[in-house]
Structure 1
Amino acid sequence: MFPLKPDKDIQARTVAISADGRTIPALVLSPMQGARKATGVLWIHGGGYFLGMKEMVHMSRAVDLVKRFGAVVVSPGYRMALLHPYPAAVDDCYTALAYLYEHADELGVRRDQIMVGGESAGGGLCAAVCMMARDRGVIPVAFHMPLYPMMDNFDTETSRDNHGRVWNTRRNHLGWRLYLRSHAHDQVSPYAAPGRQTRYEGLPPAYTFVGKGEPFYAETLAYVENFRAAGVSAQVDTYDTDMHAFDMLNPSGPESAKAIAAFLERFSYAQAHCFADETVQ
């Protein structure tokens, strides 16, 4: 069983985010000594849009962002597609982003360096939330990290007939069917499936990594290529594995060690160089 409890070297507390008559539970992770003018990160858990919980943040890359870089992380418990299909999840995650931005002073976060990250379906929601933030023009996002993201509701050359470990074609179809219901194979909004996005200008710089044998390999590379074609900075690292979420499920493996080290290096660069224009409003 993987640990879903806080690291002993960070603080973790639960907050209730109120919006539109509902309450979204969220975890806030912060440095033990407190935060002041810290990088704020919205980190979104995976689970195919129908599984998972906010406590998965404790086994994610986000913990190192708090421990090594002094970041403050908000992990929302968004609604699952079994009971609440699209747009429930992305609406909840955007509401959590707004909470992070509006409570920046209270959280010790600087408003010009709010970032978004997540893994798998959380990576897809990360991308969707950044698209929503750009289009609404209210919350400036400095950088985003959609790791091995679930973004394309259509089969790609690597998600079609994929038998990788942890996630495969059958589970991928189930996740999209539950999230989008009868629209799983339609041309839906990019907020539902970021792979449908056609306009990448104005989105925040991106970093991601993905295994070469897993279903989301092709859509991850396509996402980065689309950013570069639009003149937006985007970087991707690839690893020799067919295990989805390999860095979380096998963190001591050799490919995981390389991925974790590269992720930390990329984040260190982003923290030093990526800041949002607060005149976005």
Structure 2
Amino acid sequence: MTATAAGRPTVNPVPFDPEVQVVLDLIATDPQPPLTRDTLPRVGTDTMFPDAETVIGDRAIDVEDRVIPGPAGAPDVEITVFRPRGSEGETLPGFVNIHGGGMIVGHRSWETARVVDIVEEHRVVAVNVEYRLAPEDPYPAGVEDCYAAFAWTHAHAEELGIDPERIIVGGGSAGGGLTAAVALMARDRRGPVMVGQLLLCPMIDNTNTTVSSLQYDGIGTWQREMNLLAWSCVLGDDLAFSTEAPAYAAASRAADVSGLPPAYIEVGESEAFRDEDTEYALRIWATGGQAELHVWGGGAHGFDMYMPDAEITRAALAARSSWLRRTWGAGR
């Protein structure tokens, strides 16, 4: 951190990996207008990516869309269930996926490819969750939907062919933040127990005061301006950046992170969430909890999705798969 002529601090970003930078340069050639509360996409978001059948192709995976009860007094929740074909009568591990998008954009179909890959590689039954978005439905709508989906999956494990003692909940970015919140909720409410929480570049600190949150202002895939907008939509102007925000909205606000399921925390070295995510791992370790932390050198936010062919993505996916195998195996 250096000082400018005007006396204000300048925070130098950690450079991007060269393969990541190439993709960022391509993205920069077609800049999109900045999103605002009034321009957040809502119509057609479920058709922006290939449908499930297209993603699955000739892989032996069955897919089913379902509607399940939402939180008390709230609308139903839409989910998509993926299962290995021919697995009827088996009891398999379970995976509950929560999609990203800053809690203000996105649709579960955007992450079908990630979910299908996990189902195929690890032979598990997966539930991909839709949840309400802010600002139309601010906190606690989204996290309560996600908790309801996890609790429903656990309660209906036998019907789904899932071992209730081997359910991992996971997601990227906002999905990672919501996963962390669901883990806190399940602990505090004495609800169902997950065998692990997969936190991929999780969005967990609403204050936007870390060094890394300042380093990626105007550069990268998820920039400071979007993060400020997201938190203001989720929490409202009074709590948006406050240390008094609820822990179930921003897991970094949790006073107690003991007694949580084992966490896998993955983040890029060159992204806004780096410091909040590494700090979360440190806090879990301080309680004697388990947190496997991977900080991928030069990785931008969501690099595994934006840069699928990069070497760091191949390394990250291999490490992630190893943790999934070990965690599901530990639940036997």
TM-score class normalised by the smaller sequence: over 0.9
1:106 Cα deviation after fit = 0.7
8 Å CA contact 1:143, 1:274 repeated in 2: no
Counterpart-to-counterpart distance in 2, 1:39 and 1:221: 28
Alignment RMSD: 1.5
- Alignment-derived partner of residue 144 in structure 1: 197
SS at match of 2:213: coil
1:224 aligns with 2:281: yes
The residue matched to 1:41 in structure 2 has which SS?
strand
Distance in 2, Cα, partners of 1:48 & 1:66: 25
Alignment of 1:99-118 (within 5 A): 99-118=152-171
**What aligned pairs does 1:88-103 form with structure 2 within 5 A after superposition?**
88-103=141-156
What count of residue pairs does the alignment treat as equivalent? 274
Contact kept? 1:25, 1:77, Cα under 8 Å: yes
Query: Which residue pairs with 1:53 in the alignment?
Result: 107
Indicate the residue corresponding to 1:41 in structure 2. Answer: 95
Separation in structure 2 between the aligned mates of residue 215 and residue 59 of structure 1, nearest angstrom: 25
Out of 180, 184, 189, the position equivalent to 2:240 is 184
1:199-244 per-position Cα deviation (integer Å, ceiling 9, x unaligned): 1221100112111010000011011111110101111111123421
Aligned residue type for 1:27: T
Cα distance in 2 for partners of 1:57, 1:40 equals 17
CA distance in 2, matches of 1:88, 1:161: 31
The partner residue of 1:87 within 132, 140, 157 is 140
TM-score by length of 1: 0.93
Of all paired residues, the percent bearing the same amino acid is 35
Q: Determine the structure 2 residue equivalent to 1:278.
A: none
Alignment partner of 1:16 out of 45, 67, 70: 67
Task: Provide the C-alpha distance between the structure 2 equivalents of 1:64 and 1:231, rounded to a whole number of angstroms.
Answer: 32
TM-score (structure 2 length as normaliser): 0.79
Pick from 278, 292, 304: which aligns with 1:235? 292
Secondary structure at 1:112's aligned position in 2? Answer: strand
Q: Confirm whether residue 7 of structure 1 aligns to residue 56 of structure 2.
A: yes
Are 1:4 and 1:59, in contact at CA under 8 Å, matched by a contact in 2? Answer: no
1:221–1:236 contact (8 Å) kept in structure 2: yes
Distance 2:49 2:315 in 1: 20
Determine if contact 1:148/1:211 at 8 Å carries over to the other structure: yes
Aligned counterpart, 1:67: 120
Unaligned runs of 5+ in 2: 1-47
Q: Which residue is 2:221 aligned to?
A: 166
* Secondary structure of 2:69 counterpart: strand
Distance 2:98 2:212 in 1: 24
In the alignment, the residues of structure 2 paired with residue 206 and residue 138 of structure 1 have an alpha-carbon distance, to the nearest angstrom, of 18
Sort the Cα spacing of 1:242 and 1:260 in 2 relative to 1 into closer, same or farther, 3 A. closer
Q: Which has the larger radius of gyration?
A: 2
Q: How far, CA to CA, are the matches of 2:234 and 2:81 in structure 1?
A: 26
Conserved 8 A contact 2:176-2:202: yes
Paired letter, 1:87: P
